[in-house]
Chain A
Amino acid sequence: MKLSVLLLGVAALAVAAGAPAAETPKRGGLLKFAVSAEPPNYDCHANSSFAFIHPVRPHYSTLLKFDAPKYPAIKGDLAESWTVAKDGLTYTFKLRKGVKFHDGSALTSADIKATYDRLRNPPTGVRSLRQASYADVASIETPDPLTVVFKLKKANASMLSNFASPWDCVYSAAKLKQDPKFPERNIMGTGPFVFAGHVAGSHWTGRRFDDYFEKGKPYLNGYVAIFISGAPMVNALAAGEVLAEFRGHSPADRDRLLKALGDRAVAQESPWVCSLVVTFNTKKKPFDDARVRRALSLAIDRWGGAQALSKVALVRHVGGILRPGYDLAASEKELVTYPGFSRDINASRAEAKKLLKEAGVPNLTFTLTNRTVAMPYTPVGVFLIDQWRQIGLNVKHEQLETRLYLAAQQRDKPTFEAALDFNCDFMDEPNLQLQKYLSHDRSAINYAQQTDRVLDDFYDKQSGELDRKKRYAIIRDFEKRALEQAYTIPTIWWHRIIVHHKALKGWHILPSHYAGQDLADVWLDQ
């Protein structure tokens, strides 16, 4: 059996094992969980970190959300039902009746319109990091207080999933009218928990919203998100001071916690919509030469690396530009035909050496810029350097703290040669994951600096293609070209491991650490 299939199978079994059987939820209790960083402000639309989502998401609702046990299935959150026109240009949502904001005001379609208008066209001084996701929306109409109609300029295959984005918290239109920046300093949503306090640098608290629209929920009286990281966080889990941390643990921490907690712990595991990629600065020689970039990709034994690294780091899965296991991702049969993904590493390395010789740099020396984030950046960086040494290259590992790392990759004057870059998203969706590979002028997250209109064209085609089979085929064309040109190359995909106390029930692991965190279904068995 192929290794990746075996590992995915094991992961799926682990998820299944972690999934609770049907139990009657108990009400009450205060959930304490760890968050290893802290949000800079309170505005969902302006944030992009799990450090924001984990403490803040329980205060808000979104139009749709992911059905955690059935991911990637979507279910209504504020929307009771919805229809999508056959041409994919009109999305009509019927809202739940009787939904209240935490201040007691009723939610209407005007709140949805105000929220999405703010997202797609933020007023001066307001930041929306998701403007591009809604660029295809032409208008938002509210024919009655419980109906919202989104009209699109052109079909967009990811639009429905976008409405399940955990970042698109629905705000009160009245509050936004008073002050469009109201959400930056205030929390007021329709979610299962009311904001109770934030002590900067220490913790965040929420208490049950008694008028939450799902009757009987939430089960918890409240929660406390404690900002704690590293070894102290693992100690706090082992001592039961916190019951969970929802980003992910390393294999070593998982083993330590399982040993310390015994049958009081549950481990849930899943492939992760996070990948580490190597980006080459195509403005610097010799990385402007596709042969050099492809050779560096060919030299990496991803299959062997995944097996070895999964024992020490939170990476495990070999995949192309989309997460392995996702239905639009390349199958293993297709994958092994791409440069750098062959099972025959000796043949790949022989080709790599030949390409480097042709390019005139058989003994290339360069620097790999990496972050000082131990997991998984350091082990993967060390692994890559070892792989390149095996074809006679001399690579320096430069690990920089985040601000210097980002400075080295700055868009106007990047200084790096090759960098270990990352890409994490809230869902499997080519419109998100492929952006890393788009031309520099079309993507804010492509640091390779290249312009490739062929890739851009493939991207636009797949984005507007509503037929999944046709979309799959276009994505393969995109992937083949992206991996041949190798401006940015995937290394190994992440593997999410969550160890939590057994008393914590109703939480399901997803392939994203951003989704499934509203805590509405979570309860404590104690």
Chain B
Amino acid sequence: MLRYTVQRILLMIPTLVGVAILVFFLLRLMPGDPVATMLLGDAGGANIPKEVIEQERARLGLDQPLWVQFFKWFFGVLHGDFGYSMWTGKPVAYEVGIRLELSLQVAIMATILAVLLALPLGTLSAIFKDTWIDQTIRVFSIAGLAVPSFWLGMIVILLLLTYFSWIPPLTFTSLWENPWENLAQLIWPALTVGYRYSAVSTRMMRSSILEVLQEDYIRTARAKGVAERWVVARHAMRNALLPVVTVIGLEFAFLIGGLVVTEQVFNLNGIGRLFVQAVARSDYTMIQALVLLVSVFFVLINFVTDLLYAFLDPRIRYR
């Protein structure tokens, strides 16, 4: 198990270095200039002398050869310094830090909701295959897949506005500072995102259980006279969880940076919105840091998933 764990950790390093190289150079191939975007503003760049634009490019280091820019940035990253946002001039770590709590909280709340819904619903749906219970759960979960989270979010907002003349708070308050205010803001996006997330997991759980229930060892357990609820709970679910764990892990990592539209709908100051703003502003250092951050999340989640696999399926750790 230790060897397996060390192997997985070592594999993360080339993955992240590859991401760093790719994102840096691909960004430079894209059209668009952070200085032009920043200085021209919405006033059509009135009265901006060319020298000012050149001076700003030099200040940001954009006048240096690409390889020099890359190594300066990469050296900083190795020392934990992600540089400064080209747009705000503030440290990237600060800009990301103030948004990460919100994004993590929404992701965690949505994941908890999804797991709490998906595991029992998926299992019930499989056990009662083709009954009204299965049909109802299938409708519920397919609707969750078909309805985009942002659209559901818009409907939720409009309903709150129309019937209660109220919308969730516009600014973030930490859970530790004011739990009520915090939940009043984040419960709605967590519900809308969690619904879709649960739908994916429910479908996966259902098909996985159905598949496992056809296995020989399940037949053996039944033949031995094990009660059906123990067959499902102790033998089927544990094996059926393997693909569901993968889906939950990938969805969680996606939620960290992928809630772009949902964050816009609920005016959430999260990582997804920062990502879009950084791209729109050609804020290279910010984009690089965010891509790396999301990659780290994906890699870590994959690592945890692999460990869970090994825990759930002993064949993997003994291989």
Binding site for B on A (CB under 8 A): 37, 40-41, 47-52, 125, 127-133, 184-185, 199-203, 224, 226-228, 230-232, 235-236, 238-242, 401-404, 406-408, 410-411, 421-425, 432, 435-436, 444-445, 514
In the complex, B216 has a CB within 8 A of chain A? no
In the complex, B133 has a CB within 8 A of chain A? no
A48 x B280 contact (CB < 8 A): no
A202 x B171 contact (CB < 8 A): yes
A411 x B161 contact (CB < 8 A): no
28 A-B pairs within 8 Å (CB atoms) are namely: A47-B41, A48-B43, A48-B48, A50-B42, A51-B42, A128-B52, A131-B47, A131-B49, A199-B172, A200-B88, A201-B95, A201-B98, A201-B269, A226-B267, A228-B267, A232-B266, A236-B170, A239-B161, A239-B165, A239-B166, A241-B170, A403-B37, A403-B282, A406-B33, A424-B42, A444-B46, A444-B48, A445-B45
In the complex, residue of chain A having the shortest beta-carbon distance to the beta carbon of B36: A406
Residues of B within 8 A of A235 (CB): 157-158, 161, 167
Partner of A49, one of B43, B274, B280: B43
Interface string of B20-63 (1 = CB under 8 A from A): 00000000000111101111111111111110100110010000
The 5 closest A-B pairs by CB, nearest first: A403-B32, A48-B41, A49-B41, A48-B43, A201-B269
A232 x B264 contact (CB < 8 A): yes
How many A-B contacts if CB must be within 8 Å? 152
Q: How many residues of B contact A (CB 8 A)?
A: 53
Residues of B within 8 A of A125 (CB): 55, 59
Residues of A within 8 A of B266 (CB): 232
A402 x B280 contact (CB < 8 A): yes
B171 x A40 contact (CB < 8 A): no
Binding site for A on B (CB under 8 A): 31-34, 36-50, 52, 55-56, 59, 87-90, 94-95, 98-99, 154, 157-158, 161, 165-167, 169-172, 264-267, 269, 273-274, 277, 280-282
* Known contacts A201-B269, A226-B171; is-contact A127 B55 (Cβ 8 Å): yes
Residues of A within 8 A of B267 (CB): 226, 228, 232, 236
B43 x A41 contact (CB < 8 A): no
A407 x B36 contact (CB < 8 A): yes
* Known contacts A238-B161, A239-B161; is-contact A201 B273 (Cβ 8 Å): yes
Given contacts A127-B52, A241-B169, A422-B44, 5 further A-B contacts (CB under 8 A): A129-B39, A201-B269, A231-B154, A232-B267, A436-B44
**Chain B CB within 10 A, most for which of A47, A232, A422:** A232
A425 x B99 contact (CB < 8 A): no
* Known contacts A239-B166, A240-B165; is-contact A444 B47 (Cβ 8 Å): yes
* Known contacts A184-B89, A236-B170; is-contact A132 B165 (Cβ 8 Å): no
Secondary structure of the A contact surface, majority rule: mixed
Nearest-CB distance from B55 to chain A (Å)? 7
A201 x B274 contact (CB < 8 A): yes
Residues of A within 8 A of B39 (CB): 48, 127, 129
In the complex, residue of chain A having the shortest beta-carbon distance to the beta carbon of B46: A445
Residues of A within 8 A of B49 (CB): 131-132, 444
* Known contacts A127-B56, A236-B267; is-contact A202 B167 (Cβ 8 Å): no
Residues of A within 8 A of B165 (CB): 239-240
Partner of B44, one of A128, A424, A514: A424
In the docked arrangement, what's the CA distance between A50 and B171, Å? 21
In the complex, residue of chain B having the shortest beta-carbon distance to the beta carbon of A277: B44
Partner of B47, one of A130, A201, A202, A406: A130
Residues of A within 8 A of B38 (CB): 40
In the complex, residue of chain A having the shortest beta-carbon distance to the beta carbon of B99: A201
Residues of B within 8 A of A406 (CB): 32-33, 36-37, 40
In the complex, residue of chain B having the shortest beta-carbon distance to the beta carbon of A46: B39
A230 x B42 contact (CB < 8 A): no
In the docked arrangement, what's the CA distance between A2 and B36, Å? 41
Residues of B within 8 A of A41 (CB): 88-89
B157 x A129 contact (CB < 8 A): no
Residues of B within 8 A of A410 (CB): 33, 36
In the docked arrangement, what's the CA distance between A202 and B44, Å? 25
Nearest-CB distance from A262 to chain B (Å)? 12
A129 x B47 contact (CB < 8 A): yes
Nearest-CB distance from B295 to chain A (Å)? 22
In the docked arrangement, what's the CA distance between A201 and B49, Å? 29
Nearest-CB distance from A6 to chain B (Å)? 30
A435 x B47 contact (CB < 8 A): yes
Nearest-CB distance from B83 to chain A (Å)? 16
Residues of B within 8 A of A408 (CB): 31
Residues of B within 8 A of A232 (CB): 157, 264-267
A423 x B280 contact (CB < 8 A): no
In the docked arrangement, what's the CA distance between A402 and B38, Å? 10
In the complex, residue of chain B having the shortest beta-carbon distance to the beta carbon of A247: B42
Residues of A within 8 A of B277 (CB): 201
* Known contacts A48-B41, A125-B59, A403-B32; is-contact A133 B167 (Cβ 8 Å): no
In the docked arrangement, what's the CA distance between A18 and B49, Å? 39
* Known contacts A127-B56, A199-B269, A402-B37; is-contact A241 B44 (Cβ 8 Å): no
Residues of A within 8 A of B281 (CB): 40, 403
In the complex, residue of chain B having the shortest beta-carbon distance to the beta carbon of A226: B170
A200 x B47 contact (CB < 8 A): no
In the docked arrangement, what's the CA distance between A232 and B87, Å? 24
A200 x B95 contact (CB < 8 A): yes
In the docked arrangement, what's the CA distance between A407 and B95, Å? 26
Residues of B within 8 A of A132 (CB): 47, 49
Residues of B within 8 A of A240 (CB): 165
In the complex, residue of chain B having the shortest beta-carbon distance to the beta carbon of A401: B280
Residues of B within 8 A of A421 (CB): 44
Residues of A within 8 A of B43 (CB): 48-49, 423-425, 514
Nearest-CB distance from A318 to chain B (Å)? 20
B170 x A40 contact (CB < 8 A): no
In the complex, residue of chain B having the shortest beta-carbon distance to the beta carbon of A260: B161
Nearest-CB distance from A3 to chain B (Å)? 27
Residues of A within 8 A of B169 (CB): 241
Nearest-CB distance from B105 to chain A (Å)? 15
Nearest-CB distance from B195 to chain A (Å)? 20
Residues of A within 8 A of B48 (CB): 48, 129, 444-445
Residues of A within 8 A of B59 (CB): 125
Residues of B within 8 A of A239 (CB): 161, 165-167
In the docked arrangement, what's the CA distance between A202 and B274, Å? 11
B88 x A40 contact (CB < 8 A): yes
Residues of A within 8 A of B264 (CB): 230, 232
In the complex, residue of chain B having the shortest beta-carbon distance to the beta carbon of A122: B52
Residues of A within 8 A of B273 (CB): 201
